[in-house]
Structure 1
Amino acid sequence: MKHHHPANFMDKFAYWTVQVLKYPTYLFFQRRHMSHAMLLETVAAVPGMVGGMLLHCKSLRRFEHSGGWIKALLEEAENERMHLMTFIDISQPKWYERALVFAVQGFFFNFYFLTYVVSPKLAHRITGYLEEEAVNAYTEFLKDLDNGSFENAPAPAIAIDYWRLPANATLRDVIVVIRADEAHHRDINHYASDIQCQGMELKEAPAPIGYH
């Protein structure tokens, strides 16, 4: 898997911010992959929406185009939301799990909003490292599906429709495409941080994910 090596203070701050956020969740959830995935997607769905919203407002203020970045970030947010909807459909979370989602989202939205206002390049770097951890988490999920520790149930209809999977697709197929999405988001956000570190504006977004 691709890993962006922290090269300066900002990168190290972003990396260790994610590590500090990661370890309590890993200790709490252990191998409870569904609950862990729901929490991951609650957080992962925030950056694209916040970044897209703030770039939208910036575009209005400056009377200039965003080079496709608004659309790219909002598509990222929608993609992450569909990850969450898929896991909710599969696991039917209990009330306290929904409450945890609500609390984490509230905290992270405000934290990320303020971070993006102060430094978009730091915000994108944090997201890049978050997505790296998501790829790691889904890789562990696949290992447990492959060794029989987790039941490889049929894929839910929402996932089959969204990713255009075969009718006989399984949960493993869903995790594979979700992990691919997270890898794409990882690369997009590290790229966004890189070009801003070089003093360049977000002028032209890379191609979006081509699955639907």
Structure 2
Amino acid sequence: MKIKLLTLALMSGIALAACSADDTDADMAATTPDPAMTDPATDPMATTPDPMTDDSMAAPGADMDIVANASNSPDHTTLVSAVQAAGLVETLQGPGPYTVFAPTNAAFDALPAGTVDGLLEPDSKDQLTGVLTYHVVEGSLDAAALTQQIEAGNGEARLTTVAGGELVAKANPAGGVTITDAQGNTANVTTADLRSSNGVIHVVDKVLMPAS
């Protein structure tokens, strides 16, 4: 998109320069990029999110595993650290396939003070493992398949996690999909279908918690 917009901006500049070669102001305007053409915040087309590129885990490597793709995301450093602390790296690098609902750093930061530090303590490894595997569903469940399950379930899909608990997926009236955990907390899928060699990642804006 940015390349196309930049090309249009350059073409406009050439046309203006040809019509007003002696007009210094016009020439300067033609060679100065329009902020609206280069700034995603003011580009009306940029407001439509692309689930494959509109996240910090952008342009994932389909030939890389789930852990490798998450490790390349600056917005999932807490998740990666937790996976390492729980000893789940090898598991999530396995053949799978897996569907992972990946909370952002901000999602972990929103937990009550001390929660993350407590989970990362060596004595809390079993609890941490339970929380993380509660975000993982066996099979590669992309957005299309998830939507089909929601429709087939009369508005909701019940997903059994690797931890053994259940997540409930529903269509969000505002668009997209929501995931509700065993404690009644609801997360939004903010970016879908980040494909990896051993499954698919959906980014969520809250940490999903199993039954206490």
What is the TM-score of this pair, normalised by structure 2? 0.25
Q: Which has the higher contact order (CA 8 A, sep 6+)?
A: 1
